[in-house]
Structure 1
Amino acid sequence: MASSALAKPQVRGLLAKRLQFHIVGAFIVSLSVAAFYKSAVAEPRKKAYADFHRKYDSMKDFEEMRKAGIFQSTK
């Protein structure tokens, strides 16, 4: 009968071992998500803003708005 009995589960230190595993996993996942966001969202957004400001002509835009009648103080 003694050979068919189940062994006692390890209880001492189980929480610390599981927490260590999950903390390392969470750290790796968070770093990978941050790297993905930077490459997929932040860099293209910075490039789009840089392209816009490189090509933007404020005087041309002002003249178009003035001709459209948006401003009341300029004719």
Structure 2
Amino acid sequence: MSTALAKPQTRGLLAKRLQFHIVGALMFAVAERRKKACADFYRNYDSMKDFEEMRKAGVFQSAK
């Protein structure tokens, strides 16, 4: 009883692996930009000022 091993893929292997890693790198770059943008936004964010602006605009019905 002997089973033959499957032959390794050699044709197109580099292109397939590069495509996988390029997609991963692009997703990482987008995630890093989003994290930086969020950090920049919350660095100077004043929640009370934002609340007062929304209250004056009439967004909240229970707060006068």
Do the two structures share a fold, i.e. TM-score over 0.5?
Answer: yes
Which of 63, 72, 75 does residue 52 from structure 2 map onto? 63
Q: Does 1:47 align with 2:47?
A: no
Higher relative CO (Cα under 8 Å, sequence separation at least 6) belongs to 2
Q: Relative to total residues, which structure has the larger helix share, 1 or 2?
A: 1
Taking structure 2 as the reference length, the TM-score comes to: 0.69
Q: Aligned pairs, how many?
A: 58
- Runs of 5+ consecutive residues of structure 2 not aligned to the other structure: 1-6
Q: Taking every aligned residue pair, what percent have the same amino acid on both sides?
A: 53
Structure 1 residue ranges (4+ consecutive) displaced by more than 6 angstroms after TM superposition: none
**Which has the larger Rg?**
1
Taking structure 1 as the reference length, the TM-score comes to: 0.61
Aligned-pair RMSD on alpha carbons?
Answer: 1.9
